[in-house]
Chains A and B, each alone.
Chain A
């Protein structure tokens, strides 16, 4: 499904952040990526999505065999990639619901489908908002405008639910969430997940993985995946930190 091979990327001043990432993600899998701050976790999601601040120096990223790196940013999304960044951007003046409708209809146009009728979109939106226990305040406001950290994360999962991507790359979705919000957001992600889809979770803590069971856990450090394992790896990291990996 998502295949990342020897991915190397740098920032404008030439500093290489990703130094050869390899990752294979199959349908139905949940991959958790953990690692110390500054190891390249957030950069990985942005590079895959096409953020202009990064230059890909080597490697490939394909989604269902399509070369993502040669696509425009919007086409990567419309092909089935969704990324949620650690700090979702605020866009005052762009209505949250109108933005969602525009995004969904852009995807439908890309796939050769007619735009969703207003009434059908409203129904879809209400259904997904109810799943995430979101109230009407989200409708009238600008995209993430004035939202708390937790509200932003919930709004990200709403977008994921409506856009229905094949692969979702969620960067620290659990940060800024209180205990109840974490449960609701994790429940939402589990609801969206299906055997045809995959999720990559970036997290620092086991608490999110208590709700969303990972198939694989990877440790990213110094721009490379240095260790992979099953769910038990996350528990060990929670207990012992990262230093033991380098010691071994």
Chain B
């Protein structure tokens, strides 16, 4: 079944669909689809509107392959009209991918990334786009990791529109490691939603999901993260942590961690904090003569930067730190 047929079959997203609980679905207008879908894959089992939309709307597809054992860090900038980008990272290869803003297509800006990471490969994929006012953006990532592969996925979101990042990650080989770090700096009426599903399909796999929100005015952020540990998957380690700072009375945040664990020998944690800037830290800085607005800025920046400190030194860390 092609993507257009499947998306029409599912219909437009509704709030009572658990995948879209936190999203203002009334903002999504039904797009005009092309007469036929050129992607011939079977999407009969895909049930996420955001994953189907880029395929259904845009015929263009980009395929990038990094050969086995390619050790040089490659920088690919996916700033284009492609609805779908397929990335194949070869065995033991190392790659660094920066995603730049794409252009608006139809009424909705949507793109999908299908990423296959072979055994022993290392990938860092990141975006830190400057604030923009795109009305509605979707980015969907479908990531499949083989044994002993590592993916660092990091982003800074600070645009003012409505956006959703969804990711479905399969850790299919023993020792695979997926690390997700996302920072939302939102104000105005910005509304950002993240939905992640991590499937631990092999033993000794590791996943981390660290999200930080700095929200002001009427901004809204949501995190809906699901971790599934399959049976026969021992020694799995998974962490989910969402920290939010509310800079005023207006913003709000929703956090929903979900754990489905089918094996005893695992360590899975989740946590969530929501608060204001630390009062003692504010007092300390101002008691040294630093004006309150500057102290607030220093603490906010420190909170943001801390998220990326543990990234390995490389292009992603450099770019994200620069963006802050």
Chain A residues proximal to chain B, CB less than 8 Å: 49-53, 72-74, 76-78, 83, 85, 88-89, 91-94, 99, 102-103, 106-107, 110, 142-143, 159, 163
Known interface pairs A99-B288, A99-B298, A103-B290; 13 further A-B residue pairs with C-beta atoms within 8 A, sorted by A's residue number: A72-B286, A73-B292, A74-B286, A74-B290, A91-B281, A91-B284, A93-B305, A94-B298, A102-B290, A102-B298, A106-B289, A106-B291, A142-B302
Which residues does chain A contribute within 8 Å of B292, judged by CB atoms? 72-74
Which residues does chain B contribute within 8 Å of A85, judged by CB atoms? 284
Judge if B33 is at the interface, Cβ distance under 8 Å.
Answer: no
Check A102/B286 contact, CB under 8 A, given A89-B280, A93-B301, A94-B299.
Answer: no
Judge if B15 is at the interface, Cβ distance under 8 Å.
Answer: no
Q: Out of B287, B302, B309, which one reaches A73, CB within 8 Å? A: B287
CA gap between A73 and B288 in the complex, in Å: 8
CA gap between A163 and B285 in the complex, in Å: 13
Nearest residue (CB) in B for A98 is B298
Which residues does chain B contribute within 8 Å of A106, judged by CB atoms? 288-291, 294
Judge if B180 is at the interface, Cβ distance under 8 Å.
Answer: no
Which residues does chain B contribute within 8 Å of A53, judged by CB atoms? 279
Asked if A73 contacts B298 (CB within 8 A), the reply is no
CA gap between A50 and B287 in the complex, in Å: 8
Asked if A93 contacts B303 (CB within 8 A), the reply is yes
Size class of the B contact interface (CB-based, 8 Å): 20 to 34
CA gap between A93 and B279 in the complex, in Å: 16
Asked if A77 contacts B298 (CB within 8 A), the reply is no
CA gap between A78 and B294 in the complex, in Å: 15
Which residues does chain A contribute within 8 Å of B285, judged by CB atoms? 91, 94, 99, 103
Quote the shortest CB–CB distance from B300 to chain A (angstroms). 10
Q: Out of A76, A89, A93, A103, which one reaches B302, CB within 8 Å? A: A93
Which residues does chain A contribute within 8 Å of B280, judged by CB atoms? 89
Which residues does chain B contribute within 8 Å of A73, judged by CB atoms? 283, 286-287, 292
CA gap between A99 and B290 in the complex, in Å: 9
What are 23 contact pairs spanning A and B, CB under 8 A? A49-B287, A51-B287, A73-B287, A74-B286, A74-B288, A74-B291, A77-B287, A77-B288, A77-B289, A89-B280, A89-B284, A91-B281, A93-B302, A93-B306, A94-B285, A94-B298, A99-B285, A99-B288, A99-B298, A106-B289, A106-B291, A106-B294, A143-B284
Nearest residue (CB) in B for A107 is B289
Proximity bits, B68-79, A CB within 8 Å = 1, else 0: 000000000000
Check A103/B299 contact, CB under 8 A, given A52-B283, A93-B306.
Answer: no
Nearest residue (CB) in B for A80 is B289
Asked if A103 contacts B284 (CB within 8 A), the reply is no
Quote the shortest CB–CB distance from A112 to chain B (angstroms). 14
Quote the shortest CB–CB distance from A12 to chain B (angstroms). 12
Asked if B287 contacts A83 (CB within 8 A), the reply is yes
Nearest residue (CB) in A for B291 is A74
Asked if B289 contacts A92 (CB within 8 A), the reply is no
Which residues does chain B contribute within 8 Å of A89, judged by CB atoms? 280-281, 283-284
Residues of B257-297 at the interface with A, using a CB-CB cut-off of 8 Å, are 279-281, 283-292, 294-295
Which residues does chain B contribute within 8 Å of A51, judged by CB atoms? 283, 287
CA gap between A73 and B290 in the complex, in Å: 9
Which residues does chain A contribute within 8 Å of B281, judged by CB atoms? 89, 91
CA gap between A163 and B287 in the complex, in Å: 11
The 7 closest A-B pairs by CB, nearest first: A93-B302, A77-B289, A73-B286, A103-B288, A89-B284, A78-B289, A106-B289
CA gap between A156 and B249 in the complex, in Å: 34
Quote the shortest CB–CB distance from B306 to chain A (angstroms). 5
CA gap between A142 and B298 in the complex, in Å: 12
Quote the shortest CB–CB distance from A85 to chain B (angstroms). 8
Residues of B120-163 at the interface with A, using a CB-CB cut-off of 8 Å, are none
Nearest residue (CB) in A for B295 is A74
Most A CB within 10 A of own CB, among B280, B288, B302, B309: B288
Quote the shortest CB–CB distance from B60 to chain A (angstroms). 41
Which residues does chain B contribute within 8 Å of A102, judged by CB atoms? 290, 294, 298
Most A CB within 10 A of own CB, among B283, B292, B305, B306: B283
CA gap between A218 and B129 in the complex, in Å: 59
CA gap between A163 and B284 in the complex, in Å: 14
CA gap between A110 and B294 in the complex, in Å: 14
Most B CB within 10 A of own CB, among A49, A53, A106: A106
Q: Out of A92, A93, A163, which one reaches B288, CB within 8 Å? A: A163
Asked if A159 contacts B283 (CB within 8 A), the reply is no
CA gap between A50 and B282 in the complex, in Å: 12
Asked if B298 contacts A163 (CB within 8 A), the reply is no
Which residues does chain B contribute within 8 Å of A110, judged by CB atoms? 289
CA gap between A106 and B85 in the complex, in Å: 49
